[in-house]
Structure 1
Amino acid sequence: MKMKGQRVLMFVDNIFEDMELMYPYYRLIEEGAEVVVAGPRKKTVYKGKHGYPFRSTAAIADQQAADFDLLVIAGGFAPDQLRRDPKVLELTREIHEAGKVVAHICHGGWIPISAGIMNGFTCTSTPGIKDDLTNAGATWVNEEVVVDRNQVSSRKPDDLPAFCRAIIELAAK
């Protein structure tokens, strides 16, 4: 259990990418992490892009960056809604500035863009937000997983095995 004792924050809102939330959620628990899935409201069921439900375990407003060892951001269209919440951006920025792992997949990169933490980083994402990332100062590459300092990024659900391996490896250091 490479992540025993570590606390992971994930965000959830409606139209999250089902696999990009659930696969890392269960994989990181399997490695011994405690995973908190925070939504706009605590104990609320959110519906994924493909219809899968997921109940938040906490409210975003109640979270403090210092309580977490890393942040994992799933894609789908939820990140577009979530990045409008100043608390989401604050948590993302503070976790990043503390040198902790910030991982994002697919459209999840919208949150780090809006948090202002992508300048000078190499990353990947769905091609749909490539321009957003480069306009935020990142160098975009088309690879299944990219690790640059404390950031891990991937493109799509097919990349989830490599994405999770990279998160676990970086978090275990």
Structure 2
Amino acid sequence: MKKVAFLLADGFEDSEMKNPYDAIVKNGNDAVIISLKAGDELKGKKGTIQYTSHLAASEARAEDYAAVIIPGGKSPSHLREDKDIQAFVQAADKAGLPISAICHGPQVLASAGLLQGRTLTGYAAIADEIKQAGGNYVDKEVVVDRNLVTSRTPEDEPAFIEETINKLGVSAY
């Protein structure tokens, strides 16, 4: 069983959390929700689902995980300026862990300074931000650049989940 970190705050895109989370758990992995504080009740922006965070980013160590998933929606905007969140994704990237970010998720990677020279996608409205952070934005369903897996919207979730599972090295869902 592998531990997979989900970086999450209030206002996440419901399906972009639920569907990858369910796929990771269905594959026999341990999904750990990391937020700004442990025990926070985090609600999806559509109000269809909520989760309780397991750990604060300040308590989490990237080396304890096999992969990191960053759902989109408004959640990344709440996480991106937090120094502990930035340090966590920087350590995960340095260790070569798969980091999967969908929709607005790449904003966390941009704030952590991880996009220089990388090719990725995300929600169309953040294309300029990705470019300003040194990334090469492409409008595709899913983009894999070394350890980064990125997608644009909920419609891209099947490909996003498949590539994430592939990077994790477990059977396809």
Q: Displacement, 1:88?
A: 0.2
Q: What is the 5 A alignment of 1:59-78? A: 59-78=56-75
In the TM superposition, structure 1's runs of 4+ consecutive aligned residues that sit over 6 Å from their partners are none
Q: Displacement, 1:56?
A: 1.3
2:85 corresponds in structure 1 to 88
Q: Displacement, 1:21?
A: 1.0
TM-score w.r.t. length of structure 2: 0.94
1:112 corresponds in structure 2 to 109
RMSD: 1.1
Q: Displacement, 1:58?
A: 2.0
The correspondence for 1:10, drawn from 2, 6, 13, is 6
Q: Deviations over 1:33-87 (max 9, x none)?
A: 1110012222221111101322112222210111111110000111111011100
TM-score w.r.t. length of structure 1: 0.94
Alpha-carbon distance in 1 for matches of 2:74, 2:84: 18
Identity %: 34
SS state at 1:90 partner: helix
The correspondence for 1:121, drawn from 111, 114, 118, is 118
Q: Deviations over 1:108-130 (max 9, x none)?
A: 01000001111111111010100
The correspondence for 1:164, drawn from 161, 165, 169, is 161
SS state at 1:41 partner: coil
